[in-house]
């Protein structure tokens, strides 16, 4: 037996070597803890700065800030209602268009695409997320908007004019191509990559035994998707959709280009409107005094709405990769 100690006098007392705790060790550990805590501080800071910055507007107008539709910089009267409605309606339209497309893409990628084709297609879908928001805005304004005005708005307005309800919602008074529906459409393509890639990851995680047993009793691919995969991934798919909703609510540049930036509320989704984000982006640099506070107060509302949506989304999707 080779002794650990080189003194041969009697049985050596066991030498317990403690891990050396140098100053670097302590510093490193605390630095990493501080960096991690900074993440919490950032979120709290955003929350606080929005509340404090928007406070003068909330104090001045009270609850009326949310319910009022007046946005008058001359008389210093500010109400958030048209922007809130615009934000919610563009996001809703984006979901109505984007969700079926995303689910179809996820099903295609996991169940239908030939193996060699999967990688290039997923990369292309993910690159759709890498395109900057401002580029979507330019594509929307210069390519999509003229086509939309000429081939959708004008013919559609001629058809629906005078029809109750439909004639109000779909009629465009000035068919410029800009408006709530256009913004919703562009947003749909911006949120597709997020919803599609999370749903794809979810579908891939479902044990293949389930799929195989369904095929084994003679189910078609559609029946496997409809009755096995979707119920299995259900809650997480709703989470993925809410994550997309969070994106759509706060998207700024693309919407600012195509929404029309009107301060009025219109019953028609073909008419120009504005969202919280587009209003802030548009007016911020010229804003002073109470208008500035009102804009930050808008940001505060946007923060709390997206915050709630994202919390629910993250609880439902817990830890799926998405960047």
Site for other proteins in 173-192 (CB under 8 A): 189, 192
Residues 237-256 that bind other proteins (CB under 8 A): 243, 246-247, 249-253
Integer Cα distance of 106 and 193 in angstroms? 10
Rounded distance between C-alpha atoms, residue 273 and residue 120, angstroms: 38
Could you give the string, one character per residue 272-291, with x where binding to other proteins holds by CB under 8 A and - elsewhere? -----x--xx--xx------
Number of residues that bind other proteins (CB under 8 A): 106
Told to check if 46 binds other proteins by CB under 8 A, we report yes
Tell me which residues in 211-240 interact with other proteins (CB under 8 A). 213-214, 217-223, 225-228, 231-232
Pick 143 or 163: Cβ nearer other proteins: 143
Looking at residues 122 to 181 of the shown chain, list those that interact with other proteins (rule: CB under 8 A): 123-128, 130-139, 141-143
Q: Which of 12, 52, 150, 166 binds other proteins (CB under 8 A)?
A: 52
Q: Of 102 and 268, which CB lies nearer to other proteins in the complex structure?
A: 102
Pattern 67-96, other proteins, x by CB under 8 A: ------------------------------
């Amino acid at each position: 037996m080779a002794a650990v100690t080189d003194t041969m006098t009697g049985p050596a007392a066991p030498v317990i070597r403690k891990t050396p705790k140098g100053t670097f060790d302590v510093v490193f550990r605390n630095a990493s803890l501080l960096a991690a805590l900074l993440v919490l501080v950032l979120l709290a800071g955003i929350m606080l700065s929005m509340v404090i910055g928007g406070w003068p507007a909330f104090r001045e107008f009270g609850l009326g800030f949310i319910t009022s539709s007046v946005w008058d910089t001359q008389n210093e009267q500010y109400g958030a209602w048209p922007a809130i409605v615009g934000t919610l309606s563009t996001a809703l339209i984006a979901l109505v268009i984007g969700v079926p497309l995303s689910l179809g893409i996820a099903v295609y990628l996991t169940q239908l695409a030939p193996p060699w084709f999967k990688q290039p297609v997923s990369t292309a879908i993910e690159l759709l997320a890498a395109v900057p928001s401002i580029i979507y805005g330019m594509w929307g304004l210069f390519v999509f908007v003229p086509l939309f005005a000429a081939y959708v708005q004008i013919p559609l307005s001629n058809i629906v004019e005078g029809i109750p309800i439909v004639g109000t919602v779909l009629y465009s008074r000035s068919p410029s191509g800009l408006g709530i529906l256009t913004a919703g459409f562009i947003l749909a393509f911006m949120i597709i990559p997020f919803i599609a890639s999370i749903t794809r990851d979810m579908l891939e995680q479902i044990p293949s035994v389930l799929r195989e047993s369904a095929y084994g009793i003679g189910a078609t691919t559609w029946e496997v998707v409809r009755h096995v995969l979707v119920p299995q991934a259900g809650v997480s798919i709703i989470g993925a959709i809410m994550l997309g909703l969070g994106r759509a609510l706060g998207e700024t540049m693309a919407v600012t280009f195509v929404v029309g930036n009107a301060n009025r509320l219109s019953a028609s989704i073909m008419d120009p409107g504005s969202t919280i984000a587009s209003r802030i982006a548009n007016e911020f640099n010229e804003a002073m005094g109470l208008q500035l506070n009102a804009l930050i107060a808008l940001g505060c509302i946007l923060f709390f709405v997206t915050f709630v949506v994202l919390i629910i989304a993250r609880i439902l999707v817990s830890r799926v990769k998405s960047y």
